[in-house]
Structure 1
Amino acid sequence: MTDTNHLPDQDQEQPLISHLLELRQRLMRVLLVVLLIFLAMFYFANDLYTYLSAPLTALLPEGTSMIATDVTSPFFAPFKLTLVASIFLAMPVILHQIWGFIAPGLYQNEKRLAVPLLVSSVFLFYAGIAFAYYVVFPLIFGFFTSVGPENVDVMTDISSYLNFVLKLFFAFGIVFEIPIATLLLIWTGVSTPNSLAEKRAYVVVGCFVLGMLLTPPDIISQSLLAVPMWLLFELGILMGRILVKKNKDEDDDEFDEEFEDAMHEEETNHRD
Structure 2
Amino acid sequence: MPVSLSESSLPTMPLSGHLAELRRRLLVSGIVWIAASAMAWFLTPAVVSYLGERVGRLVFVTPAEAFVSLVKIAMTLGLVAAAPVILVEAWLFVLPGLFPTERRLVYRLAPVVVVLFVAGIVFSWFVMLPLMLSFFLGFQTERIHATITIARFLSFLMGVTLPFGLVFQLPLVTYTLTRIGVVPARFWARQRRYVVLMAFIVGALLTPPDPVSQALLAIPLLFLYEIGAWVARRAERLRVGRGEEGVWP
Relative to the length of structure 2, the TM-score reads 0.82
C-alpha distance after superposition, 1:88-123 (max 9, x if no partner): 343333333322222333333332221231112122
Q: Deviation of residue 162 (structure 1)?
A: 1.0
Query: Residue in 2 aligned with 1:6?
Result: none
Query: Residue in 2 aligned with 1:119?
Result: 111
Out of 173, 180, 196, the position equivalent to 2:172 is 180
Native 8 Å contact 2:40 2:74 kept in 1 = yes
Bigger mean CA offset, 15-24 vs 156-165: 15-24
Identity %: 33
How is 1:190-201 mapped onto 2 (pairs within 5 angstroms)? 190-201=182-193
Query: Residue in 1 aligned with 2:40?
Result: 41
How is 1:1-272 mapped onto 2 (pairs within 5 angstroms)? 15-57=14-56, 65-251=57-243
Q: Distance in 2 between matches of 1:112 and 1:74?
A: 46
- One-letter amino acid of the structure 2 residue matched with residue 26 of structure 1: R
Q: Deviation of residue 196 (structure 1)?
A: 1.5
User: Which structure is richer in relative contact order (CA contacts within 8 A, separation 6 or more)?
Assistant: 2
Structure 1 spans left out of the alignment, 5+ residues: 1-12, 58-64, 253-272
Bigger mean CA offset, 39-48 vs 95-104: 95-104
Query: Residue in 2 aligned with 1:270?
Result: none
Native 8 Å contact 1:48 1:82 kept in 2 = no
- Structure that is richer in helix per residue: 1
CA 1:72/1:209 → structure 2, altered by over 3 Å: closer, same or farther? same
Quote the RMSD (CA, aligned, Å). Answer: 2.3
Q: Deviation of residue 157 (structure 1)?
A: 0.7
Structure 2 spans left out of the alignment, 5+ residues: 1-11, 245-249
Native 8 Å contact 1:136 1:221 kept in 2 = no
Query: Residue in 2 aligned with 1:269?
Result: none
